Amino acid sequence: MGIRTVEEYKKSLRDGRRVYLRGEKIEDVTTHPILGVTAETVAQGFALTASEDPEVRNLFTAPHPKTGEPINRYFITPRNTEDLMMRTKMIQRSIELTGGLPFGRDIGTDCLNAAFVVAGQMGKKQYQENALNFLEQARKNDLAMCGAVTCVKGDRSKEPSQQKHPDYYLHVVDKTKDGIVVKGAKIHITSAPVANEIIVVPTRQMRENEADYAVSFAIPANTKGIVFICRGGRGAWTEHEFHPDYPARELTEAMIVFDNVFVPWERVFMCGEWQFSMLLAYTFATFHRFTAISYKVPAVEAMAGCAVAMAEYNGLEKVGHIRDKIADIAGYVETLRALTNASAKDPVMYAEIAVPNPLITNMAKLHFAGKYHEFVKLIQDIAGGIIATSPDKKDWENPDIHDYLEHYLGGSARYSTEERLRMIHATQRMLCSHEAAFHEVTTVHAEGSMAAQKMMILAEAPLKRYREMAKRSAGISS
């Protein structure tokens, strides 16, 4: 088939998977008030590949490298800067076109691309073939997939083997002729409840005595023993908010429990090769942070736009300190964009696979995460307290008080009160809501904490070169 329709995708989710949310078991994720929004959000990725607009279709699909048949472009393993730039562009355009982030293949292929790199470095042909076969299956069946990386970790000061029980990190508990049995739980897994396949990679470097924890594989979401426990999200628009003319978009994370799950050998990409667990975690992190910095660009552009618009609606766009803050806001956004592009333009090659520049990618992620709260503060400062205390759409519609709101909530005379109120609501959603706080936390923690980025910066930066330059200045021979 190669390219599935939205309906085909949705139908594939009614497969008996075990999903819980807010204490209840969900029978059909596609029709649930919250998960239905998530399914619809991811489904937009299928709408894009099936678009009638050739510009859109040609961006989101690509010819299969061998057969030439159209496949989803995320299934193109990047071989050069152009492929990486296309990935960035796809991510950014998908947000622009759908109003949300149809994360159905991004993180899964971040895992898979890392698995390819590592399989190549391990020199284990079987793993390479397994990964390639799985990719072909994904291309052919146009599979939605999530990437399951972060283990629950228990006591963070202890290694996997020192924990109260061995299951705080996912591990192999049995091996048979046909496959392996794994146990553990992965947490914070984006879009997991609406994926067809789960790609698992280790959450960190493993040591020799942790070989059972060095495991990577792909597994269908409805496999026996797999349970999804989901975050409760916001769901659809409410009648109390002004909203855009497209449906609410949302991704939902889940904790995925692997309760002695069987994985056949042909789906295994690593099993015990602890020496390569570091490279796998590290390469995944690079691919994944590249995905992150790509999707954050349009996210922060829209937020920056709230500052620009609210300044105008409030009549403040020419005030010195407001302009100064907008310059800082723009600097934050454009530094992110420039570094994102730079990491694609200066890739590191592993055999034929192009990995985004790890140093620049990690700096971009750290830029984004480390300065996000300051960016938020600037926009909240410009927008005003009204984004916290604004009346809602039902107030506006109540004839008893409508005229008061119309009369008193105007700003610059160039805009109508309703227009201003709509912008207030959009700004509230992005900067003064549960989602706003949620994004602060995910900005800090998704794709690894800032400490993780600093670790990789230390590993990748040319510290020796710096030192040699200092020694030369000091007149010390090396």
Closest separation in Å from C-beta 362 to its own copies = 9
Taking the C-alpha atoms of residue 100 and residue 83, their distance in angstroms, rounded to an integer, is: 23
Angle (CA) 254 258 262, round 5°: 140
36-95 positions binding its own copies, by CB under 8 A: none
328-387 positions binding its own copies, by CB under 8 A: 328, 330-331, 333-335, 338-339, 341-342, 345-346, 359-360, 363, 366-367, 372-374, 376-377, 380-381, 383-387
Closest separation in Å from C-beta 314 to its own copies = 5
| Residue choice 178, 323, 349, 352 for contact with its own copies (CB under 8 A) | 323
| Residue choice 16, 23, 68, 123 for contact with its own copies (CB under 8 A) | 23
Q: Does 430 bind its own copies (CB under 8 A)?
A: yes
| Residue choice 58, 158, 209, 236 for contact with its own copies (CB under 8 A) | 158
Number of residues that bind its own copies (CB under 8 A): 151
43 is written with which tokens?
A: 């489904």
97-126 positions binding its own copies, by CB under 8 A: 99
Q: Which of 131, 130, 227, 229 is nearest to 183 (CA)?
A: 227
Stretch that binds its own copies, among 104-112, 134-142, 217-225, 468-476 (CB under 8 A): 468-476
Nearest residue (CB) to its own copies, 292 versus 386: 386
236-265 positions binding its own copies, by CB under 8 A: 240, 242-245, 253, 255, 257, 259
| Residue choice 35, 270, 293, 432 for contact with its own copies (CB under 8 A) | 432
| Residue choice 84, 119, 194, 229 for contact with its own copies (CB under 8 A) | 229
Residue with tokens 């008061």: 404
388-417 positions binding its own copies, by CB under 8 A: 388-398, 400-401, 404-405, 407-413
206 is written with which tokens?
A: 């493993």
Closest separation in Å from C-beta 221 to its own copies = 17
Nearest residue (CB) to its own copies, 14 versus 472: 472
Taking the C-alpha atoms of residue 127 and residue 130, their distance in angstroms, rounded to an integer, is: 5
Q: Which of 155, 232, 226 is nearest to 184 (CA)?
A: 226
Q: Does 165 bind its own copies (CB under 8 A)?
A: yes
Taking the C-alpha atoms of residue 181 and residue 261, their distance in angstroms, rounded to an integer, is: 5
Q: Which of 46, 385, 29 is nearest to 233 (CA)?
A: 29
| Residue choice 15, 67, 82, 319 for contact with its own copies (CB under 8 A) | 319
Alpha-carbon dihedral sign for residues 426, 427, 428, 429:
positive
Determine the distance from the C-alpha atom of residue 28 to the mean position of all C-alpha atoms in its chain, rounded to a whole number: 24
433-452 positions binding its own copies, by CB under 8 A: 433-434, 436-438, 440-442, 444-446, 449-451
Closest separation in Å from C-beta 222 to its own copies = 17
Q: Using an 8 Å Cβ cutoff, are 21 and 232 in contact? A: yes
Closest separation in Å from C-beta 289 to its own copies = 14
Taking the C-alpha atoms of residue 126 and residue 111, their distance in angstroms, rounded to an integer, is: 18
Closest separation in Å from C-beta 103 to its own copies = 15
Site string for its own copies, 284-313 (x = CB under 8 A): --------------x--xxxxxxxxx--x-
Closest separation in Å from C-beta 148 to its own copies = 13
103 is written with which tokens?
A: 């994360």
Q: Using an 8 Å Cβ cutoff, are 61 and 73 in contact? A: yes
Nearest residue (CB) to its own copies, 272 versus 411: 411
Taking the C-alpha atoms of residue 112 and residue 302, their distance in angstroms, rounded to an integer, is: 31
Q: Using an 8 Å Cβ cutoff, are 245 and 142 in contact? A: no
Residue 15's alpha-carbon distances to 195, 224, 361, in angstroms, are 11, 12, 37
Q: Using an 8 Å Cβ cutoff, are 281 and 223 in contact? A: no
464: CB partners within 8 A, 6+ apart: none
Q: Does 278 bind its own copies (CB under 8 A)?
A: no
CA gyration radius, the chain: 24
Q: String of b and e for 211-225 (b: at least 16 CB within 10 Å)?
A: bbbbbbbbbebebee
Nearest residue (CB) to its own copies, 200 versus 366: 366
170-209 positions binding its own copies, by CB under 8 A: 184-185, 187-188
Nearest residue (CB) to its own copies, 145 versus 446: 446
Determine the distance from the C-alpha atom of residue 49 to the mean position of all C-alpha atoms in its chain, rounded to a whole number: 19
Q: Does 474 bind its own copies (CB under 8 A)?
A: yes
Q: Using an 8 Å Cβ cutoff, are 191 and 146 in contact? A: yes
Closest separation in Å from C-beta 239 to its own copies = 9
Q: Does 159 bind its own copies (CB under 8 A)?
A: no
Closest separation in Å from C-beta 326 to its own copies = 7
